[in-house]
């Protein structure tokens, strides 16, 4: 085990059984004209996480550790989109509607792609998920178990929605979870801060929180 200084106490990283999970670094959340903007958010806020996410990806690749990417998106016929999700909100554009980056949150459309700086490399697992959490309707749990992965390091957007949901799902399934605080971002800074506090509260009720520098220094 490698001890990573973290909140609420050092995270025991198992170098033989760890994977990085990069949640939803998609144009639809990060660039104007996508899903995030349709909900009235200042999407440019999320750009601040890109350098740390990209550096974290490079760190894992340099060690030969697996990198897993998720994308929140739906089948072109929207058969995996519950009516409750399609109809939620009062914005002009909804999931499946046309926009400047193609149909919003639809698989294969430009907006559903991962931003270039964080793009998957050949051989890396890309999980398309119809929900907020990475385990719902994806089959990824079996893949992780097959690969012997027990430790998950989380990054991506948004902190309080898909990152937190995925981390909670993973925690309930017995994975040891660490979120990298500067490699995740929210449209709402107070929600990011509250989420990171919630995760580490009660002696790590959902997992651990650490900045990228702590991971880097522990691995140097």
- Give the interface with ligand C5J as residue ranges (CB under 6 A): 24, 29, 72, 132, 157-158, 161-162
Q: Which is nearer to ligand C5J, 188 or 219 (CB)?
A: 188
Q: Which is nearer to ligand C5J, 27 or 132 (CB)?
A: 132
Catalytic member of 73, 118, 162, 177: 162
Report in angstroms how near the CB of residue 186 gets to ligand C5J at its nearest: 8
Catalytic member of 28, 73, 118, 129: 129
Q: Which is nearer to ligand C5J, 24 or 176 (CB)?
A: 24
Residue owning tokens 């994806």: 138
Report in angstroms how near the CB of residue 41 gets to ligand C5J at its nearest: 8
Told to judge if 129 belongs to the known catalytic residues of this protein, a careful annotator would answer yes
Q: Which is nearer to ligand C5J, 13 or 69 (CB)?
A: 69
Report in angstroms how near the CB of residue 171 gets to ligand C5J at its nearest: 17
Told to judge if 24 belongs to the known catalytic residues of this protein, a careful annotator would answer yes
The answer to whether residues 105 and 112 touch, using CB atoms and an 8 Å cutoff, is: yes
| Integer Cα distance of 61 and 64 in angstroms | 5
Told to judge if 162 belongs to the known catalytic residues of this protein, a careful annotator would answer yes
Which residues are designated catalytic?
24, 129, 162
């Amino acid at each position: 085990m490698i001890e990573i200084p973290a909140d609420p106490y050092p995270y025991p990283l198992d170098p033989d059984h760890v994977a990085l999970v990069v949640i939803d670094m998609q144009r639809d959340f990060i660039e104007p004209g996508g899903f995030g903007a349709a909900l009235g958010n200042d999407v440019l806020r999320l750009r601040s996480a890109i350098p740390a996410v990209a550096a974290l990806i490079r760190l894992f690749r340099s060690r030969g550790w697996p990198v897993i990417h998720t994308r929140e998106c739906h089948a072109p016929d929207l058969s995996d989109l519950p009516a409750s999700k399609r109809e939620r909100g009062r914005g002009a554009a909804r999931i499946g509607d046309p926009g400047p980056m193609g149909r919003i949150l639809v698989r294969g459309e430009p907006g559903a792609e991962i931003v270039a700086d964080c793009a998957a490399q050949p051989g890396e697992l890309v999980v398309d998920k119809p929900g907020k959490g990475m385990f719902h309707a994806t089959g990824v749990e079996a893949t992780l178990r097959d690969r012997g992965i027990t430790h998950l390091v989380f990054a991506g957007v948004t902190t309080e929605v898909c990152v937190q949901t995925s981390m909670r799902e993973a925690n309930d399934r017995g994975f040891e979870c660490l979120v990298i605080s500067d490699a995740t971002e929210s449209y709402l800074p107070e929600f990011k801060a509250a989420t990171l506090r919630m995760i580490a509260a009660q002696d790590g009720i959902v997992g651990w929180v650490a900045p990228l520098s702590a991971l880097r220094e522990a691995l140097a």
